[in-house]
Every structure is written in structure tokens, then in C-alpha cells.
Amino acid sequence: MHRFRIATYNIHKCRGVDGRVHPERVARVLEEVNADIVSLQEVVSHEGAAIADHQADYLAGRLGLFGAMGETRKHHGGAYGNLTLSRWDFKLVRPIDITIAGREQRVALRTDIRLGGHILHMFNVHLGTAVRERRQQAIRLVDRDLLRAIDISGPRIVLGDFNEWVRGLVTRTLVAEFHLTDLRAHLPRARSYPALLPFLNLDHIYFDHHLRVEKAFFHRSRRSLIASDHLPLVADLVLTD
């Protein structure tokens, strides 16, 4: 039996609700969360004068975790996209394009992580803001290079910022097609956006039936309410042999 903690967090380029870009503050929030695997969205990394300008390397180094970046596009010359951090090294890192024509570039970042005798297949996603875009991305997620990939042998976890605040096609596809469990059923309150006065549920975690939830919550602290416009969504999971 293996117990571990995962989290997903849209860090909004480390720009807090006070308008300050403060990677150290985000790092401290992640220290508070103390997750074994973290999926971050809206990470931007510039080769600047300060180490904190390269948010991916800075956060991984600051927390002592392995890091894998899935770049979606350039942001003022820096890499911008999804970052997965892990206490254990990655067996596979594969950014997969899920961009819909005419819309902002998006990737699903697949990372495989060994946990005991199992391989966890993590999919860090940041879906589009338009309903029609997300409908096409829901179909894209079930392709054979994504959740139906032939080399998937262990439990799958799909997590990130889905930009879906109602039970839309993405949720229905993941739950119905793959019998994935929606973490929302285990949350005492599901609204997390915006962080200070939340009234939308944008951040989600879906996982295979091999995994059991011990606890799930949005991490609320004085620091997390300011560090980003999202709150970290956290789950304590158990994987049985």
C-alpha cells in the first residue's frame, strides 16, 4: 500500500492578486501544501538575471523536486506552459499538443512516475476558455496518444485547470469513457476561483479506480489567498497492491 499526496495549482505566472510577481511566495505556498506530485499551470521561465525569473527551475530547485516542463508557447521570449514537480524521478516525459485551430496553444503534459511496483500516469492539463474548444479537447483526450495510449499500464490521474465550471463534456467524457473518479465528490466545498471570493470550480482531479481518496481539500492560507488567483487543490491518495 502506498500513500501519497498530489496537488494541482494554476500559479498565474507567479503574479498574485496584489499584482506582484513573486515566485518565492508561490514556493512557500507549495511548501505549505507539501505534496509528493504537483501539477502547475501558467508557468513562465525566462533566462533572466535572477534565478527566480526561470520559474520552472527555481520552483523545482527551491523545493528539492524533479521538474518536467511542457511548453505551450513563448511568453515575451520565455517558455510558458505546464510544469509537473515530483518527489520521484520521471520515467517518461511527453508533452502532447491539444491545441484547437484558431485558439491559444495548449498541451497535455504526460509524466510517468514509478511508485513501488506501479507506474502512475499523470496528465497535467490546462484546457481552453471557450465551450466549443473544450468540447474538441475532450474528444482529443481520448485519442490513442493520450489516455488510450498503448504503453499505459498503471493508474491514470488527469488534473489541472479545466476552465470548466459546470459538469460539461470534458467531465462527462472522463467519467463515462474511462470510469475515472471526479475528486469533486470528496470535497466539502468545490469552488476555488477566484481565490479571495471563490464562486467557480475550474480546477479538477480525475483518477482511476485503483486509487482511493483519504482526504481532499483546497489549501487556504493567508499566503495562498494572495499568491495566485487560484487555490491549490490537494488530494491524499492510496494505491493498493
Q: Where are the domains of the chain?
A: 2-239
- Please give the pLDDT value at position 196: 61
Whether the full predicted model's pTM is greater than 0.85, yes or no, is: yes
Name the grid cell of 60: 523545482
- Please give the pLDDT value at position 230: 93
Amino acid of residue 187: L
- Please give the pLDDT value at position 46: 85
- Please give the pLDDT value at position 194: 65
Q: Judge: domain 2-239, CATH 3.60.10.10.
A: yes
10-residue block means of pLDDT along the chain (241 residues)? 96 95 97 98 86 90 97 81 98 97 94 95 96 91 91 95 82 84 79 60 90 95 95 94 71
Identify the CA nearest to 63 among candidates 84, 41, 94: 84
Name the burial class of residue 185, with classes exposed (0-12), middle (13-18) and buried (19+) by CB atoms within 10 angstroms of its CB. Answer: exposed
